[in-house]
Structure 1
Amino acid sequence: MITRDSQAFLAFARGLAPDFGPACARAAFLVAPDGFVLAEQSASDNAYMDLSVAVDPLRASAQHRALHAALAQDLPVVCFPGDPDAPDGLFPNNVFATGPGIVLVGRMRHPVRQREAGRADIRGFFTGLLGRREIDLRAQPGVCELTGSVVIDRARGLAYAGLGERCDEPGARALHEALGLRATLLFDLAPGEYHANVVMSVLAGRALVVAPSGFADPGVAEALASLYAPHVVRLTAAQKAAFAGNCIALRDDRLRISQAGADALDPAQRASLAGAGFELAPVPLDEVEKAGGSLRCCVAEIY
């Protein structure tokens, strides 16, 4: 099922068992922020970027290394070197995604991001070393920046595709078919939003963090909340801007989030996450966040 009808989607999704696959990744990979700068093309449709701010490449690298060390406590993590000619490369989950036996290459909107999709080392890691079949969505119609644009509930085989300049309906359909998903809900992002994974996150298939203000129709966010109730954390616009929604559960008992995102949560929200079985494990990433993404954007999951 691929639909814009949230009620039809819910009627279908409520009957699904969480048996599509593991709720959390087996491993992950990062790309180092070598030559860290702000990409002007990306800033054209990323309201979370401010080209007037100064950036410190050494500080960004130090924070990224600390992120690698922290995530390695949760699961195996590989880090590839960065490419100064691809300054957004530290956000690889937009370009690469995986499913059992496959690796996907996304179709990116901006030329500065399209360079990343040609990296022979990352693609060879999956096809040559791991023996996975590559599905190159650049040959498909539409634009889809993979798990940046589309948030996936891996346990149920469900996807939430935030449509905008970086993801359209043909692109979302290509991702749906490549991963063999059971259902994908299409919804429009609010004006100024660029990726669904900034406005929502599904945690280990059993909880939802969501910012209704990031949806063109906040009613869609409420419909999704009903599917994951009672384990739902609703974010304010200010909390979303602090990247509280750009979080991830790489194991079923721990939530990784940036320090800024964690600091933005109120006590009731923290208690709600604890009640869902998640330990809050923040990592300082304020220098990295100047590039318009946060912790979730840095993590490409390996299933």
Structure 2
Amino acid sequence: MSQSTAGREATPRHYLMCRPTYFDVTYAINPWMDPGKPVDTDLAVEQWDALRRLYLEHGHTVDVIDPVEGLPDMVFAANGATVVDDRVLVARFRHAERAAEAAAYHEWFISRGYPRVHTAEYVNEAEGDYMVLGDRILAGTGFRTDPRAHAELARALGREVVTLTLVDPRFYHLDTALAVLSDTEVMYYPGAFSARSLDVLRALYPDAVLVGEEDAEVFGLNAVSDGLRVFLPDTATRLAGQLRDRGFRPVGVDLSELLKAGGSVKCCTLEIRHRTGA
């Protein structure tokens, strides 16, 4: 059943996650990764499981894909595929260290009978750089996803695609710099985007929540919204207040161990969007 506050409504979502059984930081492919720092895999699993339980407690469906030994970043399921109306565009990773993840996600969707599963020709890191809201997809580029992949995305999933360029390497995926709050609302950190992309965002979303650098640096924008609740890092305290002021219910989550690899709530969460009525 939907729940609402001040006109906001939570709707049940379907998520795919991957337990961080083999999580580690053994290479560096983004500015947050340091193989010299120790990683507590057991703590990472505990924190991840707390997020999974939160989703379930709030009425969402969570499927789990089996982790693959030797793929320590597979926990970041958002990078595996983009799903709209049961049509699946599987990622093609930029870095060799993550390339084999794509086959695992392709097999998962095929084995569950999804009728249209397409593995991308061009490099894209799925919901890391693709934000779906309403009939539009905001598509990031600049560090990971090839800009040619945006036209492929539009063809594969049948949605309008708007290109946004990232310019700060700390925010190497769009999901570190911008989050979807509803079908018509976003929040973002302006410093992560090119001047032209800022003009696009201001035109499309003049009432967006603008997030400060302090909250962006703790991955406050790596968040998941169900339309009412916003699951985000518990260290993004000012942002939580901004969300409350807009009628959202922030739900703080501790994923500090996974942040050592440059990921948080959204990175761990691939949303499966079914056909209307499915």
* Alpha-carbon offset, residue 52 of structure 1: 2.6
* Alpha-carbon offset, residue 286 of structure 1: 0.5
What amino acid does structure 2 have at the position aligned with 1:93? A
Matched with 1:128 is 111
Q: 1:295 aligns with which of 237, 262, 265?
A: 265
What amino acid does structure 2 have at the position aligned with 1:174? E
Q: Is the 8 A contact 2:142 2:165 kept in 1?
A: no
Per-residue CA distance 1:153-207 (angstroms, 9 max, x = gap): 2x1x222222123112111221222111123224243345320110111212232
* Alpha-carbon offset, residue 96 of structure 1: 1.5
Matched with 2:73 is 88
Matched with 1:10 is none
1:152 aligns with 2:132: yes
Q: Which runs of 5+ in 2 are unaligned?
A: 1-9, 274-278
1:228 aligns with 2:213: no
CA distance in structure 1 between the partners assigned to 2:11 and 2:93 by the alignment: 25
* Alpha-carbon offset, residue 248 of structure 1: 1.3
Question: TM-score, normalised to structure 2's length?
Answer: 0.86
RMSD: 2.1
Q: Secondary structure at the match of 2:89?
A: strand
What amino acid does structure 2 have at the position aligned with 1:162? G
Q: Is the 8 A contact 2:166 2:192 kept in 1?
A: no
CA distance in structure 2 between the partners assigned to 1:208 and 1:54 by the alignment: 35
1:273 aligns with 2:257: no
Q: 1:258 aligns with which of 233, 242, 258?
A: 233
Matched with 1:70 is 54
Q: By percentage of residues, which structure has more helix?
A: 1
* Alpha-carbon offset, residue 24 of structure 1: 6.6
CA distance in structure 1 between the partners assigned to 2:210 and 2:44 by the alignment: 29
Q: Secondary structure at the match of 1:194?
A: coil
Q: Is the 8 A contact 1:146 1:175 kept in 2?
A: no
1:110 aligns with 2:85: no
Alignment of 1:234-249 (within 5 A): 234-249=210-225
Matched with 2:191 is 213
1:51 aligns with 2:35: yes
Per-residue CA distance 1:268-291 (angstroms, 9 max, x = gap): x44442243310011111011111
Matched with 2:140 is 162
Distance change (3 Å), C-alpha of 1:234 and 1:186? closer
CA distance in structure 1 between the partners assigned to 2:202 and 2:83 by the alignment: 26
CA distance in structure 2 between the partners assigned to 1:25 and 1:115 by the alignment: 31
Per-residue CA distance 1:121-143 (angstroms, 9 max, x = gap): x4444333344321111xx2x31
**Number of residue pairs aligned between Structure 1 and Structure 2:** 263
* Alpha-carbon offset, residue 25 of structure 1: 7.0
* Alpha-carbon offset, residue 104 of structure 1: 1.8
Q: 1:37 aligns with which of 18, 21, 24?
A: 24
What amino acid does structure 1 have at the position aligned with 2:22? G
Q: Which runs of 5+ in 1 are unaligned?
A: 1-22
Per-residue CA distance 1:200-239 (angstroms, 9 max, x = gap): 112122322111111132x533541443343x22222222
Q: Is the 8 A contact 1:27 1:76 kept in 2?
A: yes
Q: Secondary structure at the match of 2:69?
A: coil
CA distance in structure 2 between the partners assigned to 1:233 and 1:222 by the alignment: 15
Q: Is the 8 A contact 2:136 2:159 kept in 1?
A: yes
Question: TM-score, normalised to structure 1's length?
Answer: 0.80
CA distance in structure 2 between the partners assigned to 1:226 and 1:73 by the alignment: 37
